[in-house]
Structure 1
């Protein structure tokens, strides 16, 4: 690779600094897409084929009677064109002589709030549109609150469609005053109000003769003048995304500078960890650089032989990054399925993907009023504050300090689909002070004393399938052999440990989470643990399995069809559920997810309880649990 000149490095830095990412938001049909379309059109960077397509689309599907419908440059989804609304987040690029822009056009409908959050996640400024005829609406306030929550501080209020109120100065000033008052109350202090008509181009890229009373900037002038917060300020932070070893003798760390400047010769500290090293080279396809600034993707080589992995952060040694495993965070839930406290999710934070669990929310935020409301779970588009726990220590900074290291995506563990987004407020003190205490007498010592290997035998199935009866017979036989056992039964634990839990999905998840933890402790004590629970969700049974070592968990599906157990109904529960006296009853109005690959499947329509118990004992003998430690 050939070294680049200092002038080339300066060019790259300038190239990034002159880019602004912003979003447009507001209520339905306030003219967001039309505004962006006009910006694209008047930037004079649209290819001729795009212009031709715009003219044809305007005649065929436009809403302007054959005139150019600028919204069609942005609204790409068929459903949007048919309804005249924006559903997805549409990203567009345009440029002026002073700056390049990346704009996200976000939907206005309340049910698409998650899309608006997506558009705001990387934005540095926002244009909030509203219709001059309707003024400040609930959705206007909702989006403004989300902007404040997401840390966007540069906001322009475009009072649009002013032509439909005769370009009234009094209407504009009344709306501007209302919005400024509201914005100040939620921490949005940098607000510029601009009277516009996106359809006619008034005050969009050029001053309008129709508003001689307005002396502020045009919308484009404001966008060109916005100064994002310290684009290259603050201590250096480099996020490692890939360990790059294309050939022997070359070991580099490819990633992105997410804050500050990284220079050759800088001392950096690797986080997590406490190892320091010196930056030896900053490598690009165009040659080495003396420094890399925020937003630049590059490869860093260190002079010292240290252990660095994907997801690690190289931070200025004099101002290192903190690490933790537990945080208070704001969560925006995006999934159709509600967030269940205690359920295991995944969190993608930076370049790391780690296990995540969420506690019961401290409160839910009413984005219309700002009030704090009680919540047990989170539904789609709801925002809450909750404590979250990761299974691995990660490098972080609070979201308001550095969004790249303070935000994370929540993924469903089974399907890997995006379930939510989080913004770190601060680390919980206990994550830094609570450490695992080593002990002298461990599980192996207890197992040797007991004369058998410990394990969890987890019986799952519908109510009335025979789980408790079979588990009791298995324990009776093991006890007669002198084995050390304990039976955890679903009904029994609800008299004590879990007496505070009901039967909602959230309570069922917490019920199994607690039992899984107790069972894991008992395995550590060297016991054979028999757990008899409906445990309807695969994800929670997987959680229980993951708490013990491989080979220490045996899932037993006590398999009896619904019509069979309902016919037996030993406790009369199915009859009560059918009469509507029991809500959230598994198999009736709450789902049961049968195991896909259990270690044992017991068909209790064909087996007696004694035969089923013998199959479990045979399995324990085959796997060596009963042959000693």
Structure 2
């Protein structure tokens, strides 16, 4: 059967019958992508009947030479301009399997479409012109494919006929581009010398390049591995909308990955509510209620009803309770910026992920990469067509996945005004999944009212209770100042006590390590204990790195108005020079993993009640400032 653009229904039927692989074709403008695709269709007999003859006659009527690219360039505007201006998808077949070929534009102005195409693909063919060699765009496209998670890449060195089919020309280009891809962690599956115009090494081996003993382009494509099917991944069902029919409340959406069965217990994130699937609804509704499906899988658009009338809204993510998505309000991202205005630190953008939307702030721009030579710079802006490694913070909890775990729910786009300005992939490196920290499991509990009112405690102690939360890098002086302040306050009649990081880990938190999740749980427990101490009338001093803003905000919420954040500030260089425990040296050699300031993030406070800069103050000067703040704030 001949292939061409077909309906979604026909596509689904065909995909079910044969293996399907989605291939994106990328390359610099005029390097011959559309010519290569047109030749592929012709040489494998995949063109619709009469297509080749119709294009040839059109060229004759216009008095223009026939171009293989015209088989791909379907739009009149594209033929007139001589460039491909949009992504185009056409079904393609070999004896082994079916393909969706996504032809993506190559020049800067249309990189947005190139990214759209690559984001949908399982593998890529990257075209390089043998007469021009590796260009800036060739490097940029290689990096973008890596950024978007495309790991199977075949490089077609095209127009070998224009360089006399010379092996040395091909070898030089192959070596240069393999070196570049290797530097970003990409290994091209094949590098194939071709002439798309003449048909060399497209579907049949070239007699003009007998020195080449690798596969043809078709052979390379057929050697690519099918990706793991979406149905085998954990269930991800973003809720698109909620409808009410008769007495049913139907949650509708598209299953992005996994399988769903009637009777499954689902968790809705980020609300953390749970319920069981009562029924699966499909459209059109079957006339026989017994014909409703009991099982559905990835790619299907369905509705469900629940056995409990939960409040669920658009943007929530349904999953099985045993394998839910990450829940966080902060994450790292690699993004490609296409906005008219640069992405800037501190600016707020609208983020779309799945069916959800959220306002996110650019908390940090860690690196800006030049995709041409991979040089990086530290700046507060990411300009158009640059790649940024950034930290984004939302105003509320988000349900998402790391891109390496689930590409469908690990990608996002940023909106600036009304335009899509950038897109990227999610990493949680150095940050915790906060689900366990925000989920209350105990039921039927009631707070106990104490017999001693707060004002009576304050009168008897002569001061208010509170939490002085010391945060800062290791070596900044937190523990030193905390113990000296404790002694000075005690001598002045204060009821006071220090909770120190190391001491807490000897007892209360002895079962916790130093992963992001365990660090977060460590601080959660300390925050709750400090809050209890403050309500007992003590002036509690904590000395913890507490690197995450979200953890400190959780401690603030626990203590309420009693909480006072004190930033013990010292730059990384100063802390390394002090290195009282020899930790920085071990972190630099890799002996200590996830060490704050070296291999794990530290989010400095934005709104601390007090900042003590120990880089510029002596211990006595810092202690004097602390005592002055306490006397002014807590003395009754």
Q: Does residue 1:156 correspond to 2:158, yes or no?
A: no
Q: Does residue 1:422 correspond to 2:420, yes or no?
A: no
Aligned to 1:299: 303
Aligned to 1:238: 237
Kindly tell me: are residues 77 and 363 of structure 1, through their superposed partners in 2, closer, same or farther at Cα, counting changes over 3 Å?
farther
Shift of 1:229: 2.9
Kindly tell me: are residues 76 and 379 of structure 1, through their superposed partners in 2, closer, same or farther at Cα, counting changes over 3 Å?
farther
Aligned to 1:359: 363
Q: Which of 142, 145, 148 is equivalent to 1:144?
A: 142
Query: C-alpha distance in 2, partners of 1:202/1:390?
Result: 52
Q: Which of 388, 391, 397 is equivalent to 2:395?
A: 391
Query: C-alpha distance in 2, partners of 1:430/1:203?
Result: 49
Kindly tell me: are residues 170 and 327 of structure 1, through their superposed partners in 2, closer, same or farther at Cα, counting changes over 3 Å?
same
Kindly tell me: are residues 31 and 254 of structure 1, through their superposed partners in 2, closer, same or farther at Cα, counting changes over 3 Å?
same
The 8 Å contact of residues 326 and 427 in structure 1, kept in 2 or not, is answered as: no
Shift of 1:188: 1.2
Q: Does residue 1:55 correspond to 2:56, yes or no?
A: yes
Question: What do you get for the CA RMSD once the two structures are aligned?
Answer: 3.1
Q: Which of 115, 121, 125 is equivalent to 2:113?
A: 115
Count of aligned residue pairs for this structure pair: 420
The 8 Å contact of residues 324 and 427 in structure 1, kept in 2 or not, is answered as: no
Aligned to 1:34: 35
Query: C-alpha distance in 2, partners of 1:12/1:266?
Result: 28
- Per the normalisation by structure 2, the TM-score is 0.60
Kindly tell me: are residues 226 and 268 of structure 1, through their superposed partners in 2, closer, same or farther at Cα, counting changes over 3 Å?
farther
Shift of 1:347: 1.1
Query: C-alpha distance in 2, partners of 1:281/1:20?
Result: 33
Kindly tell me: are residues 109 and 13 of structure 1, through their superposed partners in 2, closer, same or farther at Cα, counting changes over 3 Å?
closer
Aligned to 2:183: 185
Query: C-alpha distance in 2, partners of 1:99/1:292?
Result: 25
The 8 Å contact of residues 330 and 384 in structure 1, kept in 2 or not, is answered as: yes
Query: C-alpha distance in 1, partners of 2:427/2:17?
Result: 28
The 8 Å contact of residues 328 and 432 in structure 2, kept in 1 or not, is answered as: no
Shift of 1:227: 2.1
Kindly tell me: are residues 196 and 340 of structure 1, through their superposed partners in 2, closer, same or farther at Cα, counting changes over 3 Å?
same
Q: Does residue 1:314 correspond to 2:318, yes or no?
A: yes
Shift of 1:385: 1.4
Provide structure 1 residue ranges, at least 5 long, that are not aligned to the other structure: 1-10, 436-629
Say which SS state the counterpart of residue 327 (structure 2) adopts. Answer: strand
Say which SS state the counterpart of residue 127 (structure 1) adopts. Answer: strand
Query: C-alpha distance in 1, partners of 2:295/2:23?
Result: 27
Shift of 1:33: 0.9
Q: Which of 350, 372, 378 is equivalent to 1:368?
A: 372
Shift of 1:271: 1.3
User: Residues 106-159 of structure 1, C-alpha deviation per residue, up to 9 Å, x if partnerless?
Assistant: 222234333322221221111001112333233212211111111110001111
The 8 Å contact of residues 178 and 188 in structure 2, kept in 1 or not, is answered as: no
The 8 Å contact of residues 16 and 295 in structure 1, kept in 2 or not, is answered as: no
Kindly tell me: are residues 186 and 278 of structure 1, through their superposed partners in 2, closer, same or farther at Cα, counting changes over 3 Å?
same
Aligned to 1:254: 252
Q: Does residue 1:333 correspond to 2:332, yes or no?
A: no
Moved more, 90-99 or 254-263: 90-99
Kindly tell me: are residues 83 and 237 of structure 1, through their superposed partners in 2, closer, same or farther at Cα, counting changes over 3 Å?
same
User: Residues 525-548 of structure 1, C-alpha deviation per residue, up to 9 Å, x if partnerless?
Assistant: xxxxxxxxxxxxxxxxxxxxxxxx
Q: Which of 266, 273, 279 is equivalent to 1:268?
A: 266
Q: Does residue 1:22 correspond to 2:23, yes or no?
A: yes
Kindly tell me: are residues 110 and 331 of structure 1, through their superposed partners in 2, closer, same or farther at Cα, counting changes over 3 Å?
same
Say which SS state the counterpart of residue 111 (structure 2) adopts. Answer: helix
Query: C-alpha distance in 2, partners of 1:173/1:292?
Result: 50
Shift of 1:244: 4.0
User: Residues 547-579 of structure 1, C-alpha deviation per residue, up to 9 Å, x if partnerless?
Assistant: xxxxxxxxxxxxxxxxxxxxxxxxxxxxxxxxx
Shift of 1:235: 1.9
Provide structure 2 residue ranges, at least 5 long, that are not aligned to the other structure: 1-11, 285-290, 439-636
Aligned to 1:175: 173
The 8 Å contact of residues 348 and 354 in structure 1, kept in 2 or not, is answered as: yes
Aligned pairs (5 A) from 1:551-566: none
Shift of 1:164: 2.2
Say which SS state the counterpart of residue 258 (structure 1) adopts. Answer: coil
Kindly tell me: are residues 218 and 364 of structure 1, through their superposed partners in 2, closer, same or farther at Cα, counting changes over 3 Å?
same
